[in-house]
């Protein structure tokens, strides 16, 4: 879908993803993230016109409670999705609204809390096993290759102050944990977490009028849904191709990527699906260190889901926050040098859906 005007990310906010607790207050989590995004934008919250909200939480009043807690009571709040891809869906909807002149400034909020963290766990574990078997059967991928992805993720997370566990782990420690090829558990899979993240989008005119930081723009987005979990690589491939075409760039222009790494095999397949490597080239990409600092493109400088944990509807907005910090040059010790173009990849293996978003930094 062709967009009509520029859309900028002017504010982002998130906190650490933490272990699930039965008494987690979703409204408080959401309000903290939203306030952080508004403060990051240096924006009067009263100027936000719409809120797009995503969570797997089933309580009927959580959305209004979260918005009211941000002192923006009264603005229209749309609950976009109740699945783990909710944050990406909400970001997509908000970008369309701003680009098509329906909204000037929008808050996007994703929250994952409480019992929702364990939802469909068995189905997810089975999907993990099938994905690992696919990599092994198609390409003969060695266990050490999967483990090196986990090592990279933990090394990146060790640089991130938002990581709750900042221990860098070695290859032997990863291999000694439950191997992904045999089990869906262990250090090669993400752990369930609770958390929230928020993003402020606005039009170019709005940013200029209110003197907001508009260095980061959303250049393209594409969403694709296939039949089921094993079709996620195909959905990712199609969505990425559409996004590259809309932005007028190719994968060779990317400096960094935040992709969905619920497990190491999913990350390995995503390299190919996102056109970062040629067919069958993912294992070599890992072994030669092309997926980290000093390589061709830095994958998940935040630590990704493997390093930070999986917080469902908050994941995509946390990815957005990391990419914005990187493109502003504000990621400190994990900064990707000269970052100008970035890709965000969010998926839901249960529905076979993928959302790809491309971001660009304004060169000054």
CB atoms within 10 A of CB 36: 19
Q: Report whether 36 contacts 43 (CB < 8 A).
A: no
Confidence of residue 118 (pLDDT cuts 50, 70, 90): very low
In sequence order, what are the beta bridge partners of 359? Answer: 218, 342
Residue-wise pLDDT for 262-282, tens only, equals 999 999 999 999 999 999 999
Q: What is the share, in percent, of the chain residues with pLDDT greater than 70?
A: 84
**For the chain, what percentages of helix, strand and coil (3-state, to nearest 5) are there?**
45, 20, 35
49 Cβ contact list (under 8 Å, min separation 6): 75, 76, 103, 104, 105, 106
Which residue has better confidence, 138 or 177? 177
Q: Residue 38 has what pLDDT? A: 94
Domains 7-117+193-214 and 121-191+218-361 share a fold: yes
Mean pLDDT value of segment 37-50: 94
Mean pLDDT (whole number) for 80-99: 91
| Tens of pLDDT, residues 175-212 | 887 654 454 457 888 999 999 999 999 999 999 999 99
Rounded to an integer, what is the distance from CA 330 to the centroid of its chain? 18
User: Rounded CA gap, 313 and 33, in Å?
Assistant: 13
Domain boundaries along the sequence of the chain:
7-117+193-214, 121-191+218-361
CA–CA separation, 215 and 201 (whole Å): 12
Total Cβ atoms within 10 A of residue 125: 15
pLDDT of residue 159: 96
User: What does the alpha-carbon distance between residue 135 and residue 273 come to, in Å, rounded to a whole number?
Assistant: 13
- The tokens for 239 are 């969505």
- The CATH class of 121-191+218-361 is alpha beta
pLDDT tier, 1 (very low <50, low <70, confident <90, very high otherwise): very low
CATH code reported for the domain at 7-117+193-214: 3.40.47.10
Which helix (DSSP H) or strand (DSSP E) does residue 285 occupy?
helix 282-287
What's the first-to-final CA gap in the chain, in angstroms?
29
Q: Is the per-residue pLDDT at 116 higher than 60?
A: no
| pLDDT tens digit sequence for 143-166 | 899 999 999 999 999 999 999 889
Q: How confident is the model at residue 29 (pLDDT cuts 50, 70, 90)?
A: confident
Distance CA 344, CA 324 (A): 11
Closest to 317 in 3D by CA, of 267, 350, 355, 353: 355
How much is the CA Rg of the chain, to the nearest whole Å?
A: 19
- Reported confidence tier of residue 219, pLDDT bands at 50, 70, 90: very high
């Amino acid at each position: 879908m062709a967009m009509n005007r520029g859309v900028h990310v002017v504010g982002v906010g998130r906190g650490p993803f933490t272990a699930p607790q039965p008494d987690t207050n979703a409204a408080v989590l959401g309000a903290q993230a939203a306030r952080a995004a508004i403060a990051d934008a240096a924006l009067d919250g009263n100027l936000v016109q719409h809120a797009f909200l995503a969570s797997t939480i089933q309580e009927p009043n959580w959305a209004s409670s979260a918005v009211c807690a941000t002192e923006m009571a009264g603005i229209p709040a749309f609950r976009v999705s109740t699945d783990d891809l909710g944050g990406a869906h909400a970001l997509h909807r908000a970008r369309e609204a701003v680009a098509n002149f329906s909204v000037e400034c929008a808050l996007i909020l994703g929250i994952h809390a409480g019992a929702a963290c364990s939802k469909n766990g068995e189905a997810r574990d089975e999907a993990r096993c099938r994905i690992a078997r696919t990599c092994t059967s198609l390409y003969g991928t060695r266990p050490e290759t999967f483990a090196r992805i986990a090592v990279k993720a933990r090394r990146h997370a060790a640089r991130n102050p938002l990581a709750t566990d900042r221990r860098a782990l070695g290859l032997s420690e990863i291999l000694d944990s439950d191997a992904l090829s045999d089990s869906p558990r262990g250090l090669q899979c993400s752990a369930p977490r609770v958390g929230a993240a928020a993003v402020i989008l606005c039009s170019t005119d709005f940013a200029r009028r209110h003197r907001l930081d508009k260095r980061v723009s959303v250049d393209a987005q594409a969403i694709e849904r296939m039949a089921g979990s094993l079709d996620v690589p195909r959905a990712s491939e199609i969505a990425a191709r559409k996004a590259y075409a809309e932005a007028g760039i190719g994968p060779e222009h990317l400096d960094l990527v935040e992709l969905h790494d619920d497990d190491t095999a999913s990350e390995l397949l995503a390299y190919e699906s996102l056109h970062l490597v040629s067919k069958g080239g993912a294992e070599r990409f890992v072994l030669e260190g092309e997926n980290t600092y000093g390589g061709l493109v830095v994958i998940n400088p935040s630590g990704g889901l493997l390093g930070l944990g999986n917080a469902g509807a908050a994941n995509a907005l946390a990815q957005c926050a990391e990419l914005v910090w990187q493109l502003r040059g504000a990621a400190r010790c994990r900064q990707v040098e000269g970052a100008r173009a970035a890709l965000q990849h969010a998926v839901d293996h249960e529905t076979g859906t993928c959302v790809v978003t491309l971001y660009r930094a304004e060169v000054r």
